[in-house]
Amino acid sequence: MVDIRLKRAYEPAEPTDGQRILVDRLWPRGLSREAARLDGWEKDLTPTTDLRRAYHGGRMSFDEFAAAYRAELTGRDSARQAAGRLADALPTQPVTLLYAARDTQQNHALVLRDWLYEQMNHTRPGA
């Protein structure tokens, strides 16, 4: 079963995390590389700087941001290649996408997780 998890980068690493992938363009403030315990950093799966700034600057709603981000991901060859790398790991272990955002209900990692499930033609568990 495909298992993509989400976790704030500041939460401690756990053995059940599987492969830990940072999906923020910028390194999380105040987090050491040792504490992060990353297996990878996929900048190609992050929103562009302009899109991130527009959303955080209040110039678009979360729904508008999510639609624009999905369009960015779909239109980028590098994002599809990065999704393929994650898909290769998924049959053998979970993948935990790490993000720094404080808001756990509306952030780019949620959009990314759902987009990845769609790219792999799987439905999200519990959806």
Please provide the distance, in angstroms rounded to a whole number, between the alpha carbons at the two ends of the chain: 14
Average pLDDT score over residue span 45-71: 94
Average pLDDT score over residue span 110-116: 92
Strand order through the sheet with 95-99? 4-8, 95-99, 19-22, 40-41
Percent of the chain predicted with pLDDT > 90? 65
- pLDDT band at 88; cut points 50, 70, 90: confident
Cα distance between residue 85 and residue 82, in whole Å: 5
Percent of the chain predicted with pLDDT > 70? 93
Average pLDDT score over residue span 80-97: 81
Per-residue pLDDT tens over the stretch 17-36: 999 999 999 999 999 999 99
Burial label for 79, CB within 10 Å (0-12, 13-18, 19+), is buried
